[in-house]
Structure formats: C-alpha cells, structure tokens
C-alpha cells in the first residue's frame, strides 16, 4: 500500500473471546500505551476459521466483550463478524476495514496478536496479504517465546524484514511493519476458564465480575 499515513494507528483486536478475560484486556490496554494507539477496535469472530465451533453463541461472546470493555473510552466493539455467514478470516476483515466508509486506506492499522497466534500465522488464509493491509503488534504470552529461530521459516523471514524496534515507525505508514511489546505476563486462557467452570471451580479474578455474572445468568459453560 503506497499511501501516506493518516493519524495515529488504530489497534485491531480479533478473537474468539470464549470468554473474554483479563489477558485480553491487559493486551489491549498495554498495546494502546506501548504502541501509541488512538484506540483499540475489538472484533469478536463469528465462526472462527481454525477451531471448533464455540460452546456459546457468537452473540453471547459479543455480549461478554461489550460488558468487559464498557467503561473504557479507548475501546470500541465491531460486531460485523458476529452474524457473518462465512468463517471469520482476518484478511477479509482487514479488507472490509480498508473500505472508504470504514477506516480508509491511509489510517495506520495494527493487528494485535498474542505470540501464540503470531507463530501460527502461516496457517491463516492469505496470511502474507495481512501485512499489505495492517501492521502487526505481537504481545508476549507465557509459554510462547517470540524466537525467530523457532518460527516457521517463511514467517521468520518476514519477521526479520519487517520488524521495527521504534513504535513511532507504525505511524509512518499505514501497514507493513511488525512490532512486539512485553505486556504484563498473564498465564490466563479462555480454555482454562472453560475448564474451571466445567469442573464447578471458581474463575473469579481471571475475568471481570460483570462477565462472570453474565455467564451465571445465561447458564453458559455448564458444569459436567
Ligand atoms: P482459547 O484458550 O479458547 O484459545 P484464548 O485465551 O487464547 O482462548 P483467544 O480468543 O483465542 O483467547 O485469543 C484472542 C487473542 O488474544 C489471540 O491473539 C491470543 O494470542 C491473545 N491472548 C489471549 N490470551 C492472552 C494472554 N493471556 N496473553 C497474551 N495474549 C493473549
Ligand atoms: Mg487462543
């Protein structure tokens, strides 16, 4: 994309959020600070492309994200994927965001990924097109070191070419660079929370109380 950049970068944070938890929230909050973002747009997936159908509906996952970020003016929700008839491919999401009535072509976008998701990128649909549409901001995640010698070769090569250490580089162009940030390490996963709930154990302090109340009221993730 040979466009001139326009303004501070906007963070784009997609995920299954089944359910949303404090690892997600700190990732978005610290990305905003570390990468000097104007805000973070959360995009819950409808039908995740690379994993089993979640136990709860996309609308319920969306509702939990809305509850979790309600008090944060830097965060916004994009509900467009939730009812989509097709699987949620990130490259198609970014193409949608690049349309003139959305972010347009000049706004720098930073696709936010945890290190596990980043390492798996070569399995994503048209993954090499992602960097034509957005930068990538990779958050450190416990158990998933960002070690180029352990990344798939084509991803390691891409990382070597595009990695930048200076966050201001993300505002200089709309897309194409990779940055990383060492967020507070939280070994929290949605899988762990689903396992706790299925076993009748408390998930408290791993995710917002409002989200736990919603899970209880809607009888999500039942004990078995
Ligand atoms: P699951 O266990 O169901 O895969 P998850 O906790 O990994 O859930 P996802 O919705 O799969 O959550 O992740 C959305 C994004 O958030 C991904 O890019 C993932 O790497 C990142 N992420 C999730 N939890 C953390 C965490 N604790 N630290 C850093 N990144 C995280
Ligand atoms: Mg995950």
Residue 52's pLDDT band (boundaries 50, 70, 90)?
confident
Whether 194 maps to a domain, the answer reads: no
Whether 199 maps to a domain, the answer reads: no
pTM for the complete prediction? Answer: 0.96
- Establish whether residue 186 lines the binding site of ligand 1, counting it when its CB lies within 6 angstroms of any ligand atom: yes
Treating both helix axes as pointing N-terminal to C-terminal, what angle do 58-69 and 209-218 enclose, rounded to 10 degrees? 150
State the Cα–Cα distance between residues 210 and 212, nearest whole angstrom: 5
Whether 74 maps to a domain, the answer reads: yes
Number of domains in the chain: 1
Nearest-atom number in ligand 1 for the CA of 51 is 4
Residue 58, domain CATH: 3.40.50.620
How close is the Cα of 3 to the center of ligand 1, in Å? 32
Q: What is the pLDDT of residues 145-177, one digit of tens each?
A: 899 999 999 999 999 999 999 989 999 999 999
Among 18, 181, 190, residue to substitute to test ligand 1 (most atoms within 8 Å of Cβ): 190
Question: What does the block give as tokens for 131?
Answer: 């960097």
* Residue range(s) defining the domain that contains residue 49: 10-186
More confident residue, 7 or 194: 194
Q: What is the pLDDT of residues 106-134, one digit of tens each?
A: 999 999 999 999 999 999 999 999 999 99
Whether 104 maps to a domain, the answer reads: yes
How close is the Cα of 14 to the center of ligand 2, in Å? 11
Whether 2 maps to a domain, the answer reads: no
Q: What is the pLDDT of residues 89-104, one digit of tens each?
A: 999 999 999 999 999 9
Closest CA to 30 of 65, 75, 67, 64: 75
Closest CA to 49 of 95, 93, 11, 104: 93
For residue 19, say if its preceding peptide bond is cis, omega within 30 degrees of 0.
yes
Predicted local distance difference test score (pLDDT) of residue 116:
96
- Establish whether residue 191 lines the binding site of ligand 1, counting it when its CB lies within 6 angstroms of any ligand atom: yes
Whether 64 maps to a domain, the answer reads: yes
Predicted local distance difference test score (pLDDT) of residue 50:
79
SS3 141: strand
- Establish whether residue 17 lines the binding site of ligand 1, counting it when its CB lies within 6 angstroms of any ligand atom: yes
Predicted local distance difference test score (pLDDT) of residue 111:
98
How close is the Cα of 125 to the center of ligand 1, in Å? 19
Kindly report the protein residue whose alpha carbon is nearest to atom 19 of ligand 1. 114
- pLDDT, the chain, mean: 94
């Amino acid at each position: 994309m040979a466009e001139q950049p326009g303004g501070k970068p906007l963070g784009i944070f997609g995920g299954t959020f089944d359910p949303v938890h404090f690892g997600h929230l700190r990732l978005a909050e610290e990305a905003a600070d570390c990468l000097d973002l104007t805000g973070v747009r959360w995009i819950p997936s409808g039908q995740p492309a690379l994993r089993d159908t979640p136990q709860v509906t996309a609308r319920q996952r969306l509702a939990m994200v809305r509850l979790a970020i309600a008090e944060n003016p830097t965060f916004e929700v994009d509900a467009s994927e939730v009812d989509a008839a097709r699987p949620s491919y990130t490259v198609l999401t970014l193409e949608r965001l690049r349309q003139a009535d959305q972010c347009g072509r000049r706004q720098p976008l930073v696709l936010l990924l945890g290190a596990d998701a980043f390492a798996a990128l070569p399995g994503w649909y048209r993954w090499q097109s992602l960097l034509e549409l957005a930068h990538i901001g990779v958050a450190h995640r416990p158990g998933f070191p960002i070690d180029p010698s352990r990344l798939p070769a084509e991803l390691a090569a891409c990382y070597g070419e595009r990695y930048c250490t200076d966050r201001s580089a993300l505002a200089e162009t709309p897309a194409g660079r990779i940055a990383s940030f060492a967020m507070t390490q939280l070994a929290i996963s949605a899988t762990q929370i689903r396992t706790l709930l299925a076993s009748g154990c408390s998930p408290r302090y791993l995710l917002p109380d409002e989200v736990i109340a919603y899970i209880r009221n809607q009888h999500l993730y039942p004990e078995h």
